[in-house]
Structure 1
Amino acid sequence: MTKTSGTGIKTGPVSWDIGASPTAGKRYTVPAIKNLNTGIVVYGSHAIAKYLDETDKLLIPRGAHVLVETSETPYINTVMMPSFKLLMTRTLETQNDISWQVFIQSRLKMFRETHWEDMAPEGKAQQMWAALKKGLGVVNGWYQKSGGRWIMGNTFSFTDIVVVSCKWIVWWNAILNKQERQEVHTLHGEKWARLLVDVNAGCNTDLGSCEEHSH
C-alpha cells in the first residue's frame, strides 16, 4: 500500500510500486518516495532528506550536507555495532509466527553464526547492554559539545532525526522490555526521552514515547 501526502509526495513500503530502481544486489529498498508532480523517485534516508531539503529547506543547513551524510556511521560504530546481536534477539521476540524462521535464518547469515543461542548468551548479553549504554554516553558527549539541544547546536537537522527515528530510539521502544526502555530513557538526565519529545515537536510527528509500550 502506498500513501500520498498533501505535498504531492507518494511513499510506499514496496519500492517498485512507485517506480524505484533496485539498488546494488538487485534489491528494492525502503524508504522511497515519488514526486507525483515531476515523476522523480528518490530512495535512501539521506537522499530523501537532501531532496526534500532542496525544495523545502528544512532538514540540512547550508553547507552541512557532508557532515549530515557521514554522521550516521560514527553513531552506528559507537552505539549499535557492540550491541547489534542483542538487539536482534530482542527484535525476534516481536516477530509473528510467519516471520520467525525467516528472521532467524537471515540474521544468522548476517552475523555469520550457526545457532541462534550463540547470538547473545546471558553473559555476552549483559556485556552488549553495557556497551550500548556506554556508547550512548559518547553520543551524549557530542550533544553537550554542540552547545545546544541539537547535534548542530541550536539548529535542528536530519542527523537528530536519524538518532531518534525508527533506526534507533523508536526501534528500541518497540523491542526492549519496560525495564530496559526505562533505563535508556533515563540515562544522562533523561536526554533520550527528551530528544524524542523534541523531534516529535520539531517535525510535527508522533514517533511514540517511553510510556507507550508495555511488553
Structure 2
Amino acid sequence: MITLYDLPSKVADSPGTTTTWRARYCLNIKNLPYQTVYVEIPDVEAFAKEIGAAPTGMWPDRSPKYTLHGRPAYLDKTYPSCGPVLIPPGTMVLQLAFADTVKEALEHLRLPLFYSYFVTKLNNRSAAPLRKKFGAKLEAPEGEEREKMWTMTRDNLGKMNEWFEGSEGDFVLGDEPCFADTVISAIFRLIRSTVGKESEEWKDIATWHDGRWGKHLERFKQYEIVV
C-alpha cells in the first residue's frame, strides 16, 4: 500500500503542507488506497534516511535536504488504469511551468501572513524550529503594509484568472482534474484551514474574480478525504 508521509496539525482534518496536500489530492483523484504516517518537522530527515528516501534537494550550505514530497508522474506510470491521468502526454512541461507560476504569484504571502498563522496550527515540536528559523519574520503585517500585500495578492490572482477566461471545462485541462489543478487547490486549501473558513482573508479570496477560487476549491471537496 502507498504511504503518504505528512505533517500533523492541531486542526482537525487539516494536516500538512502544500506539497503533501498536492500528493493527497493526486492519490484521491486516482482513487488509490493509501495510508498516512505523520512526521514532525525535526524528525523528517532522520525518518527519510531510515526508510531509504533520497534527498529532495540541497540546502544553501550544500547539505542534503529532506522534505515530504509527492510524484504525480510516478502515480500515472505505476497505476495507469486508476482514475484520470494527472499529467497527460505532452503536458509535463506546461504543467510544471504553470505550477511554478502559481507558487510565485502567491510566494509573497508565505512569511508575512501565511506562516504567521500556519505555525500556530502546528504541534509545538514542529512549530519551535520554524519560530527559531524565521523569528520576527513570522509576525503578521498590519495596516498599510497588510493592505498592500492583499492588493498584490488580488492582482496576481487576477492575472491567473485571465488564463481561465474562455477555457472549456472547470479545470486547467478541461473536464477532468490534473496535477496543475492540485497545485491551486493545495495552496488555497491550506490557506483556508490556516486563516479560517470564516475569516475575512478567506472570504475575500473566495469571492474574488466572480468566486473562481472558492468554486475551484469546492470542486475539489470530494478529493479532500484524509485517511
Corresponding residue of 1:189: 210
How many Å apart are 1:146 and its aligned residue? Answer: 2.8
2:90 to 58, 63, 74: 63
Q: Deviations over 1:121-149 (max 9, x none)?
A: 43212211221122122212112243321
Greater RCO (CA < 8 Å, at least 6 residues apart): 2
Q: Secondary structure at the match of 1:120?
A: coil
Q: CA 1:98 to 1:62, structure 2 compared with 1: closer, same or farther past 3 Å?
A: closer
1:94 pairs with 2:132: no
Whole-Å separation in 2 of the counterparts to 1:99 and 1:139: 33
> What is the RMSD of the two structures over their aligned residues, measured on CA atoms?
3.0
Partner amino acid, structure 2, of 1:174: S
Corresponding residue of 1:38: none
Q: CA 1:120 to 1:50, structure 2 compared with 1: closer, same or farther past 3 Å?
A: same
Q: Deviations over 1:26-61 (max 9, x none)?
A: 122113xxxxxxxxxxxxx3xx10010113342111
Q: Contact conserved, 1:10 with 1:18, CA < 8 A, in 2? A: no
Q: Contact conserved, 2:113 with 2:139, CA < 8 A, in 1? A: no
TM-score by length of 1: 0.69
Partner amino acid, structure 1, of 2:55: P
Whole-Å separation in 2 of the counterparts to 1:99 and 1:51: 29
Q: Contact conserved, 1:86 with 1:129, CA < 8 A, in 2? A: no
Number of matched pairs: 180
How many Å apart are 1:15 and its aligned residue? Answer: 3.0
Whole-Å separation in 2 of the counterparts to 1:169 and 1:194: 11
1:50 to 73, 79, 104: 73
1:206 pairs with 2:225: yes
Q: Deviations over 1:73-122 (max 9, x none)?
A: 111222x12322222222234345554442223224xxxxxx44776343
2:108 to 63, 79, 82: 82
Corresponding residue of 2:7: none
Corresponding residue of 1:29: 67
Q: What residue ranges of structure 1 are gaps of 5+ in the alignment? A: 32-44, 109-114, 208-215
Q: Bigger CA drift: 8-17 or 20-29?
A: 8-17
TM-score by length of 2: 0.66
1:129 to 150, 156, 180: 150
Q: Contact conserved, 1:83 with 1:131, CA < 8 A, in 2? A: no
How many Å apart are 1:3 and its aligned residue? Answer: 4.1
Corresponding residue of 1:42: none
How many Å apart are 1:21 and its aligned residue? Answer: 1.5
Corresponding residue of 2:190: 171
Whole-Å separation in 2 of the counterparts to 1:83 and 1:96: 22
Whole-Å separation in 2 of the counterparts to 1:16 and 1:145: 47
